[in-house]
Chain A
């Protein structure tokens, strides 16, 4: 199963930067420490823009937070720390000149790993395109890895040499 690695420093969400989320609906279920954004969800954080049909935010279950509305309120306004979030129904992530699209994605805030899965995950940077079935990005280092589909799946990569000879972002493939 071939895979390609490339530098994707932009694709990340972090827990300590201001973040703006818009959606048609937001449901906060305090009992399960979950906030579900649904209906053209857009997330803006710094350079990163994320769009999806649905985003479920799982908050860190605070053992001492009792079942009262106070805990609900903190989950509601995002004060509680985010454990991980899952995005579904057509995911689009854009950061600087890198765009990644797929069907579903997860951002794990603890391990700082972003994954994007789907029938066809496309990662493009400028004119270079990388296609596969799974994109995994170590958000801290920005190192991204695209895996092909199925056991014998292949990664399709097309690199368009820059005409003006500007420094080309190296995309080495194993």
Chain B
């Protein structure tokens, strides 16, 4: 593009033979200016590209708030452990949906900031925009960096669409939206119920696998009574 503009200015002075040496001097200056411009651009353009490459990720990181805030009523410090009374933790799942976690007591080892031991837990885990899974458990270990929660004793899970589940223990990965347990489970909804010795939920409930002694009881009439509105027409008509 730069070269082309030189050619047009050249054509204009050519017919005047008298200023022969003048045009030659001018042409020489223009060529010199051109090469200086190229030298500058050779350096400036890559620098500009690098600057953009760095700025973009920084900008997008700042834009997505990965804030994990912790508030607690009272905190005490005893033998190298920070003890918090009814703490509240908030964070975001991969789909940028907020999840919240409250407990009666949290203890955090000073050495391991990310791992928090919780008692009397209630967690609200958004599995979808319109469906929040609320989890209650006596005891659990929350890992802030990994965004996971390992509930180690009697857990009860309920969802806004009427699903109720009981587990001996369960491992929740809030980031990935997955749940896993290798202890007995009991899941019921309306009039139907599933029990099994282990279960894993992947991809926010899109894939659920029960294993070992799986038993499903479906009572369609109770389902209707429970107002489960999944498809009005009855399959058997």
Contacts and interface: CB of A to CB of B under 8 A. Distances in A.
Nearest to A67: B206
Contacts of B230: 62, 65, 74, 79-81
B131 interface: yes
B221 interface: yes
Interface string B188-222: 11101110100001001111111111111111110
Nearest to B208: A28
Which residue among A30, A66, A73, A82 has the maximum number of chain B CB atoms within 10 Å of its CB?
A73
Interface residues of A, number: 41
B192 A77 contact: yes
11 contacts: A16-B235, A18-B219, A19-B218, A20-B218, A21-B215, A21-B218, A25-B209, A72-B206, A72-B208, A73-B205, A77-B193
Given A62-B231, A68-B127, A73-B189, A78 B205 contact: no
Contacts of B78: none
Interface residues of B, number: 45
A29 interface: yes
A49 to B, nearest CB: 15
B192 A79 contact: yes
A22 interface: yes
B128 A68 contact: yes
B187 A69 contact: no
A23 interface: yes
B232 to A, nearest CB: 9
Contacts of A19: 217-218
Nearest to A79: B228
Interface in B103-138: 127-131, 133
A20 B217 CA distance: 5
